[in-house]
Structure 1
Amino acid sequence: MPRMPLAERRRQLTEAAIRAMARDGVARTTTRSIAAEAGVSLSVFHYCFDSKQALLESVIETITDHYLGVVKEAIRPRATLRETVRAGFRAYWDHVRARPAEHMLTYELTQYALRQPGFEHLARRQHELYCATYADLIERVSGGGPGFELSVPVPVLARYLAAMTDGLTLNFLVLGDDRAAAEILDMVSEHVAGLVRAVEPIEPADPVQAPVG
């Protein structure tokens, strides 16, 4: 087997874990099945990850990175702020529709972490990562240049968006109603765009003219 840098090997095993867990479930996925999925020996797995917690944290971060990349690309400046926001949501939603098993896995990871003693911090880490991701995206949309400000604090809006998309994604996975989800995304896009307002530039004051004697 050709030697591979540790970081690359960890990515390989993490992607294999995501595939195995999405197919078989978190509880039924073993280190041996992940190694087999990646085509490596069990000793290679244990060299890359010293605990199941480390593996699950890598899985959570990697799943988030999967859709974060496409969303960042989608929210490049467009004709209007609403179009920029809507494009970001649409990119996320296209990812949900294309990879539903992966998004379903995120809920299973939360439940698994909350039920396993000593793993609770992974569920907190998962949702803190969601909020941090949205905070970064909000800064890209509203803080990319001068002239805009939010009417609510960034952390508050980030938490709201994380909760909204988390609930909407689960709703879609259960009901499969893509049209209803699209209508909700349109409504949220309008709401978010309305929370960002333009700031008029402050014109410098004219210098005081001394009276002519």
Structure 2
Amino acid sequence: MARMPSAERRRQLTEAAIRVMARDGVAATTTRSVCAEAGVSLSVFHYCFDSKQALLESVITAITEHSVTLVREALRPKATLRETVRAGFQAYWDHVSAHPGEHLLTYELTQYALRNPGFEHLARRQYELYSDTYTELIEQLRARMGFVLRVPVPVLARYLAAMTDGLTLRHLVLGDDAAAAAILDALTAHVAALAGEETAPALT
């Protein structure tokens, strides 16, 4: 087995864990099944992760980064803030549509963490990460486009995290692409209004 830097090996095991958990569920996933998926020995796993908690935290971070990477690339300033924000939401939604099992896994991870004593902090960290990620994206976009928000950045970040989290779960249950697109359009308009670009639309 070729030697890899420890950070690269951790990424390999994390991606293997995501595949196994999406296929078999979090509770059924074992270190042995992750190692088998990654093609490494148990000793390699224990060198990279000192606990299942550490692996789950790495999985949560990696899943978030999968979609965020696409959003960052999509958030290139366009003619209007509305167009720019909508492109970012679309990039996220394209990932949801292409990888529903991965997004379903995020909810399973939350439930697993909340139901298993000693793991609760992972659920908190998961949702803090969502808000922190939106904060970073908002600040980057504000620096590029120079708009002034009518609400504090942390408030908008938590709002966007809550909205996309709920919309993603709704889509996983109902699978209504047209409804999801309409909701993202409304959410985009509200963000633009909070940045003073236009008036927020009425919800009908």
TM-score interval, normalised by the smaller of the two chains: over 0.9
Alignment of 1:41-120 (within 5 A): 41-120=41-120
Which residue of the partner structure matches residue 7 of structure 2? 7
Amino acid in the other structure paired with 1:90: Q
Q: Displacement, 1:144? A: 2.0
Counterpart Cα distance in 2 of 1:24 and 1:124: 24
Say which one has the larger Rg.
Answer: 1
Q: Displacement, 1:197? A: 2.7
SS at match of 2:83: helix
4+ residue stretches of structure 1 with deviation over 6 A?
none
Deviations 1:54-76 (A, max 9, x none): 00000000001101110000010
Amino acid in the other structure paired with 1:166: D
Q: Displacement, 1:139? A: 1.1
SS at match of 2:27: coil
Unaligned runs of 5+ in 1: 199-213
SS at match of 2:108: helix
Alignment of 1:1-213 (within 5 A): 1-146=1-146, 148-197=147-196
- State the percentage of identical aligned residues: 76
TM-score (norm 2): 0.95
Which residue of the partner structure matches residue 202 of structure 1? none
Number of matched pairs:
197
Asked if 1 retains the 8 angstrom alpha-carbon contact of 2:77 and 2:145, the reply is no
| Larger helix percent | 2
Deviations 1:130-149 (A, max 9, x none): 00000111112223254x21
Counterpart Cα distance in 2 of 1:175 and 1:64: 22
Counterpart Cα distance in 1 of 2:75 and 2:159: 19
Counterpart Cα distance in 2 of 1:38 and 1:190: 43
Which residue of the partner structure matches residue 201 of structure 2? none
Amino acid in the other structure paired with 2:96: V
Amino acid in the other structure paired with 2:19: R
TM-score (norm 1): 0.91
Asked if 2 retains the 8 angstrom alpha-carbon contact of 1:113 and 1:120, the reply is yes
Asked if 1 retains the 8 angstrom alpha-carbon contact of 2:53 and 2:119, the reply is yes
Unaligned runs of 5+ in 2: 198-204
Counterpart Cα distance in 2 of 1:172 and 1:49: 33
Asked if 2 retains the 8 angstrom alpha-carbon contact of 1:142 and 1:196, the reply is no
Deviations 1:23-68 (A, max 9, x none): 0000000000000000001111111100000000000000011011
RMSD over aligned Cα atoms: 0.9
Counterpart Cα distance in 1 of 2:142 and 2:177: 28
Amino acid in the other structure paired with 1:31: T
Counterpart Cα distance in 2 of 1:171 and 1:83: 24
